[in-house]
Amino acid sequence: MSPADHTTIVRHFRQILLWPLQLAPIRQGAQIQEHWELLERHAADHPWGELRDEFSCAPGEFQERHYSEFVTFLPYVRRFLYGEAKGRSIGKAGESPIRVFRRSDVRAARIQLASRAEPVTLQVPHVDLCFFYDIDIMVLVVELCADDLELAIAQDLMYRLGRAYPTYWHQDGMGGHCVRRAEWLAGDGAVLATSDFEQREQYLEFVGRNRAPRVASHWRFLLQPLVQDLPEETGQIRYRQVEYGRMPLIAYLAMDDTRAVTRGDFIRLGLVASPGPSDTLPYSAHHVRDFEARYCYDQFWNEERSGSPGTRFMTCGHAFVMVGDAHDPFFMDRNGGLLGQFRHQYFLLFLIPHFHKAALLMLSDRMAVALNLLDISDAESVKRFKRTIRQLLEIFLRFTHRYWFHEVSDQPTAREMYRMTSGFLGTDRLYPEVREEIEDMSEYLEGDTLRRQANTVVRLTVVTTFGLIGTVVTGFLGMNLLSMTDAPLAKRVAVIVLVLIPVSVLTFYTIVKSKRLSDFLEALSDERLPARAKFKSLLDVWRPDDRVRRRSPQRD
């Protein structure tokens, strides 16, 4: 029997979707926006509740799977993920910068695929929101699982389920690249929300009005009370898209016979392609000629040995996929085995680089928005632009020292999976680009500040130079030529006022004309200029602006 005639069954399928989103500020002018405080403040108005971390339990109740997760990471990554022990931290300084909120009302998902007449029901163990301190990024995490699925159905779910909106529409009105219908179900089977991918006109009108894609209704429901950052939406916590609307995912597939998985199916799983005949390739042979070398980590996969070939790890940046033997107790173990590691260690190994990329894209977007709002003819706009750039520089520095790292683990598999995922996402290339953009902005601001200071120094120098004449004159007059010692007090006050007024007027007038006077002093000190040119430079001090511009270029 050929592979194409054999129906491969996935005994246990698990998929975790991650959707990074950018959060809009809730307090204008504040650098640190603690959006989760609004969820805590209005806990009765929404289904989200803060999730207690693993270290909140009694020390004797700490579980082995949490221990295995903890020791996977290097010390500085542990501080990022778990914070410091209470005895070594002061206030919030030692807490983990990650705040997780979970909703428990959604217990299942009923998915209708075009390739199958009957819908597929998936269990939903977790729906989480992950917030990050000092970084306006949030990650929606949705975990789904099912048993005894056909491999083609699992591939179709991986390819179509994590779509925030359709990319096009078929002739029958169904959204392209999406499931035909998705429903969130409560514990009693009641339908909580339904997708609306078929509402083509609403999606088109929405983009035409808001210049932003419309998030499908079932995803909007899952994020409530958060709303899209649009004028027509009312809500305190507002989000916007930061990446493509196809959600990154990690997938776990346990099968009776992994040898039945063809190379074409492995490529569909590793690159999250649409399902197709198992004996064909989803892409050209030339395009996937180096698939195993680029996308697979086969330290524990050996097709040449008898029995099960082991476990294959695959990553393309957008997805991380683990395929193994359903009869292997270690692969199926939910605590210390690979299933437990998939849900904890490998989830975090996948989350971190996607958080890095989203944070860098968010900072780059903030700079673009700041430039779009800049009006160089408006002094207040220039001040706001400078404040924004300085804040972004400070946030970037804190991001670098709190969140950014190249290595997360010394364990070979974890280290390699993180390296491959980060490499495909391009975070190591994106980081210096964003840093250079921010540094260029900062250098511009510093240069502009120095230029303004230099202009001020020039003007003060001109005032001092011309004020030297008055100083010498008043000093000469003070050499007892006009003795005022015996004069009445009123007369002395009158003399002071008579001298003070013209001197003040002359000083302010000199400041007003300081720029042109500095040009005159520069021309006067230039030995190459004839006396005629120097005299014309003196006359330019009182000529109209347009005539001066025609005679000599304006200098800053």
Question: pLDDT at position 51, please?
Answer: 85
Q: Would 471 be classed as within a structural domain? A: yes
Between 235 and 53, the higher pLDDT residue: 235
In a domain, 506, yes or no: yes
Instruction: Using the Cα atoms of residue 210, residue 101, residue 37 and residue 367 in order, give the sign of their dihedral.
Output: negative
State how far Cα 222 lies from the chain centre. Answer: 21
In angstroms, the Cα distances linking 124 to 110, 129, 142, 184 are 10, 14, 7, 9
Q: Which of 21-30, 67-76, 266-275, 527-536 is predicted with the least confidence, judged by mean pLDDT?
A: 527-536
| Lowest mean pLDDT across 49-63, 318-332, 389-403, 409-423 | 49-63
C-alpha 517/C-alpha 55 separation (Å) is 71
475 domain-assigned? yes
pLDDT digits (tens, 9 = 90+) for 139-163: 999 999 999 999 999 999 999 999 9
Express each pLDDT in 490-499 by its tens digit. Answer: 776 777 677 7
Q: Give the sign of the dihedral formed by CA 165, CA 171, CA 174, CA 178.
A: negative
pLDDT value at position 556?
40
Residues 6+ apart with CB under 8 A from 9: 148, 149, 150, 151, 255, 256
Q: How many domains does the chain have?
A: 1
Q: Is the pLDDT of residue 463 over 80?
A: no
Among 100, 147, 413, 156, residue whose Cα is nearest residue 274: 156
Query: Residue 46 falls within a domain, yes or no?
Result: no
Gap between the terminal Cα atoms of the chain: 83
What is the mean pLDDT of the segment spanning 465-487? Answer: 58
316: β partners: none
CA distance 456 to 450: 10
Q: Decide if 534 is inside a domain.
A: yes
What whole-number percentage of the chain has pLDDT above 70? 83
Give the containing element (helix H, strand E) for 183.
Answer: strand 181-185
User: In the prediction, which pLDDT does 272 show?
Assistant: 95
pLDDT (average), residues 190-198: 95
pLDDT at 479: 53
Residue 88 lies inside a defined structural domain of this protein: no
pLDDT digits (tens, 9 = 90+) for 27-72: 776 777 888 888 888 777 889 998 877 666 656 666 777 788 888 9
> Quick check: 322 pLDDT over 70?
yes
Q: Return the minimum-mean-pLDDT range out of 40-49, 369-378, 451-460, 487-496.
A: 451-460
Q: How confident is the model at residue 164 (pLDDT cuts 50, 70, 90)?
A: very high
Tell me what pLDDT residue 252 has: 97
Band (450; pLDDT cuts 50, 70, 90) = confident
Is residue 407 in a domain?
no
pLDDT at 476: 44
Query: Does the residue 489 lie in any domain?
Result: yes
| Res 555: pLDDT | 41
pLDDT reading at 449 higher than 50: yes
> What pLDDT, on a 0 to 100 scale, did the predictor assign at position 554?
43
The rounded mean pLDDT for the chain is: 84
Q: Which of 163, 159, 156 is closest to 246 using CA atoms?
A: 163
Cα–Cα distances in angstroms (integers) from residue 501 to residues 81, 131, 408, 425, 524, in the given order: 69, 63, 72, 70, 29
| The pair of three-digit structure tokens given for residue 440, joined into one six-digit string | 């260029």
The H-or-E segment that residue 423 falls in is: helix 412-425
* 245 pLDDT above the threshold of 80: yes
Q: Which domain holds residue 497?
A: 453-551
pLDDT tens column, 271-289: 999 999 999 999 999 999 9
Could you tell me the pLDDT band of residue 295, with boundaries at 50, 70 and 90?
very high
Asked whether the whole model's pTM tops 0.85, one would answer no
488's CB contacts (< 8 A; 6+ apart) are none
Residue 127 has pLDDT above 90, yes or no: yes
- Could you tell me what percentage of the chain is helix, strand and coil, using 3-state DSSP and rounding each to the nearest 5? 50, 20, 35
pLDDT tens digit sequence for 82-124: 888 665 545 555 678 899 999 999 999 999 998 888 999 999 9
* Confidence band of 239 (pLDDT split at 50, 70, 90): very high
